[in-house]
Amino acid sequence: MLDIEDVMHNTDTEGIHSASLGISWQAIIFGFAGLVLEDGGLSMYPRMPKQWGKIQFNVVYRNNIIHVSIMEDVAEVTLSKESPLDQMDIKIWDQLLSLEKGKIKQLNKPVTQPQDQTLEQLG
């Protein structure tokens, strides 16, 4: 993601490849955080590396800002006070969570999880 010497002459003055930053964000959010759009709503099935302490990000869905914080065994999600909706649902680890504007909702990772599924089996 960094080109210290700008060998290809295609970076900004800090040596940052902006497109690489975008794809890295997507890999973390759609990959490790497991964010997908399904059944007309947002769903997450986080699978974080054990070495990571936390992933935090915001996502905008239908003009609603959702703050997400994922730890190894816990997810915290908040529907922003600035969101037009007062309530919305999101699925995390296959459990439906009802979000209310401005309130932090916490969900513990279920004890039993599929460990050896392929991407095809996960859908």
What averages of pLDDT result for each successive group of 10 residues across the chain (123 residues)? 56 63 88 91 91 94 96 94 96 95 95 58 54
pTM of the entire structure?
0.76
> Other C-beta atoms within 10 Å of 83: how many?
20
Residue 5 lies in a domain: no
Q: What is the pLDDT of residue 50?
A: 83
What's the Rg (C-alpha) of the chain? 17
Residue 73 lies in a domain: yes
* Range of the structural domain that residue 66 is part of: 48-110
Q: What is the pLDDT of residue 39?
A: 82
Residue 61 lies in a domain: yes
Residue 9 lies in a domain: no
Residue 88: which CATH number? Answer: 2.60.420.10
- For 23, the token pair is 């794809």
Residue 99 lies in a domain: yes
Residue 33 lies in a domain: no
In the chain, the number of structural domains is 1
Q: Which of 10, 38, 50 is nearest to 96 (CA)?
A: 38
Residue 54 lies in a domain: yes
Residue 83 lies in a domain: yes
How far apart are alpha carbons 18 and 20 in whole angstroms?
Answer: 5
Q: What is the pLDDT of residue 1?
A: 47
Q: What is the pLDDT of residue 62?
A: 94
How far apart are alpha carbons 22 and 100 in whole angstroms?
Answer: 30
